[in-house]
Structures are given as C-alpha cells and as structure tokens.
Amino acid sequence: MNNLLESVKRFFKNKNTVTIVGVIVILVLLYIGYSSQIKQAVNPVSVVVATETIQPRTEITSDMVQTIDMPNISISDNVYTSKNAVIGKYSNVNSVIPKGSMFYKEMVIEKKELPDAAFTKVKTGEVVYNFPVNMESTYGNSIFPGTIIDIYMKVGNGSDEKVVIGKLLENIEVLAVKDSSGRAVFENTEESRTPAMMIFGLPADLNNLLKAASYLDTIGVELYPVPHSGTVDSTGATRVSTEELKDYIEAHSISVKATESEKTVAVDKLVPTITESGGSPNSVTINFPNGCGSKYTCTYAKDGGKTATTKKTSVVLKYTDIGTLIATVTEKDGTPHTLTTSIPQNEDTDSTTGNVG
C-alpha cells in the first residue's frame, strides 16, 4: 500500500505529467461546452409561418398560418412562436407578409392600432385636402405617397375664350392615393386599384384657396397635379403667375364674414371639436359626432403617436406640456373630416374645428 502511495506522489510531482493531465482536462471541458452550445443552437423550435401571401391591413385567420420546426440559432427574439399570438390580429399597413415567411412582431398589430398613414403624417397647422384624381391625371397611376407635386390651374375652354395656364400651388407632398372605396391604391400587391382621390395637407389659407378654385369648374377652371420636376404643355395657352391665378379665384368667389353666432352654423359638423380644462395636467376633451363605429370611423392621435379608434362621442386626453392633436371622422366613402391643432390653444379659444378636403 505504501509503495502505491509513493508511486502516486511521484506521478503528480512530475511537472510534465501534471501539464498533460491539465491539458486533457481542459480539452474535455471545452468539448463538453462546445457540444452543449451546438446542441442548443440546432435544437428545433416551433415557429409560425404564413401559408399564403398576406396583404397589408388583412386580418390573420387560422388558415393563413402553420407551425414548423426550425433550428434555434435561426430564430430571433422578435419572431412569433405561437399561432394564438397572431390569429385575430392584422398585418401592418406597410407590411406584405410573403408565403412561407415568419411573423415578425413589427409586422403584426391589433385592429385598434391600424392607423391611416395619411393622417399621421399631416403636419401641425395643416388641414387634410382630398383632391379628386383618375388614372389619367395620375399619369397612369404613377403618382404615389411621398411624391412631391405642384397643382396647376387652367382657365378657359379654348373656343369661347383664350386658355390660361399657371402654377397655383407647389411643393406638396402626397400622403396617400386611394380608390373610390377609400382603400390605399399601393398597399396591395395582388389587386389593381384605380386612383380616385389624392390626400395631402395644406395650411388653412391655401386649403381654402384650392377649395374655392375647385368650385369654379362651371366657368372653365380645371385643376390637375403635375410631378414637381415635370413640365406642363402650354402650347396655345397664356402662362400666368400664381398671384394672377389667386386674384382670378378671389374675383370669382364670394367671401362672407360670419358673425360669432353664424360661425357655429357654417362649420362642418363632422369635424371633431375640442374643449380644454387648462392647468396641469390639461384635460382635453375630443367631441365626436354620433355614429362613430357605425356610420363613421373616428380616430385620434396624440403628439404624433399611434392612431387610436373610438366608438365614443367624447374622449379625454391628458397633456402635461405643449403637444399636438389630430382627430378625424371618416365617412364610409373615405371622405375625411380632420381637426389638426396644437395644445394648448389660444387662451381666447376653447374649441377648434378643422376642414374637410
């Protein structure tokens, strides 16, 4: 027994022997760790994938999804792994989910989170304008959201009177192009939709000017969009300045100055109004017309955040600082009635109304 102990002691006192044993132990530990990591990386995980191409703003149903196993290393944290997590929700407004694709969290939203991208991009102080168009006036459906356009105005029919052409407005960003049903023309890759309305924002004075010009069609006034870098064929026509066009519109329009009592009658009744409590926090009440959720789609967005939909006739928001508010009532034909305002308002005003384009 003593001899065995002495042999063991001599074995471990040998430096070369200890080094070799240490190296072997380290290699074994590395192998075990590496094998564990590889096993964990290739371990199959169930994920949800699309069984068909899903267009934007589409409700996700059970027949549109299935689960498959994929290596854990190929799955990121923002991928859904459960069918129940996506069924009943909607594809985002800017997301086409291809057949076979995984469902990433930014692609899927709740129905109440579906925004109208056009209204969320309207700048503070601007009013939404709904400009009628067709396939021809959009250059074969070539004007799309983000395009910068100018609005030209033509006066005269070319027979009884000389035709006059000029640029009325310029540098307008198109926020949306929709068909006659209010659906975005470019959001669906599988349908051919015909443009019927082009939506953009304008300061109130220019909004009123363009609306006044649109009412003069009976005397030969025609309005049409032109891409900002484009040119207009004015052969046989007289080119005039923007100021001359404004003078023409004003000369053929009647401006009535309403009394305070008459103003409440003249305002568009579908445009939401607001009242403020003042103080801090400032309680801002949005007043919607009756019919939200049935006759109309009523939405609002605070400080440029997500657009919320409501069925209530009044919604209270809290502001602790200066902010913005956009509230919209949309008719079933897609016509928007929008309020865009800053919070707080002028101290002498307790309600604000917008205009419909």
Which of 95, 113, 131 represents a domain boundary (last residue)? 113
Amino acid at 43: N
Other residues' Cβ atoms within 10 Å of the Cβ of residue 176: 24
Q: What are phi and psi of 260, to 5 degrees?
A: -60, -40
> Which of 58-62, 198-202, 227-231 has the least mean pLDDT?
227-231
Amino acid (one-letter) located at 165: I
69 and 187 co-located in one domain? no
Q: How many Å apart are CA 94 and CA 58, to the nearest integer?
A: 11
Asked whether residue 218 falls in the same domain as residue 96, the answer is no
36 plus 56 within the same structural domain: no
- Is 308 part of a structural domain of the chain? yes
On the question of pLDDT at 263 being above 50, the answer is no
Within 10 Å of residue 154's Cβ, how many Cβ atoms?
Answer: 20
Supply the CATH number for residue 97's domain: 3.90.1210.10
Query: Tokens in use for 314?
Result: 């009044």
For residue 161, the SS3 value is coil
Please tell me the distance from the alpha carbon of residue 79 to that of residue 101, in angstroms, as a whole number: 10
Cα 220 to Cα 4, 236, 241, 266: the distances in Å are: 117, 16, 18, 27
Measured distance CA(37)–CA(31) in Å, rounded: 10
Domain count, the chain: 4
Look at residue 355 and tell me whether its pLDDT is greater than 50. Answer: no
pLDDT of residue 226: 92
Domain of 348: which CATH number? 2.60.40.10
Same-domain status, 51 and 19: no
- Domain residues for 157? 121-251
Fill in the DSSP letter of residue 122: P
**Least confident span in 88-97, 161-170, 200-209, 261-270:** 261-270
Q: Pick the closest to residue 100 from 55, 54, 49 (CA basis).
A: 49
Tokens of 21: 């044993």
Q: Looking at the structure, tell me whether residues 130 and 170 fall in a common domain.
A: yes
Do residues 199 and 306 both lie within one domain? Answer: no
Considering the domain architecture, whether residues 125 and 106 belong to the same structural domain is answered as: no
User: Considering 85, 113, 141, which residue would you say is the last residue of a domain?
Assistant: 113
Cα distance between residue 270 and residue 313, in whole Å: 12
Are 33 and 54 within one domain?
Answer: no
Query: What is the distance between the alpha carbons of residues 222 and 157, in angstroms, rounded to a whole number?
Result: 10
Residues 137 and 154 in one domain: yes
Q: Which pTM was predicted?
A: 0.46
According to the model, what pLDDT value does residue 12 have? Answer: 58
Least confident of 83-97, 127-141, 176-190, 304-318: 176-190
**Counting Cβ atoms within 10 Å, is residue 212 exposed (0-12), middle (13-18) or buried (19+)?**
middle
Give the per-residue pLDDT at 110: 85
Q: Is 353 left (phi over 0), alpha (psi -120 to 50) or beta?
A: beta
Decide: helix, strand or coil at residue 308. strand
Query: Do residues 206 and 126 both lie within one domain?
Result: yes
Domain membership flag for residue 18: yes
pLDDT in tens, 49-64: 999 998 887 889 999 9
According to the model, what pLDDT value does residue 38 have? Answer: 60
For residue 353, what pLDDT is reported? 39
279 in the same domain as 241: no
Contact between residue 352 and residue 264 where contact means Cβ atoms under 8 Å apart? no
Domain end marker among 207, 223, 251: 251
Domain membership flag for residue 261: no
Judge whether 209 lies within some domain.
yes
84 and 192 share a domain? no
CB 115 within 8 A of CB 307: yes
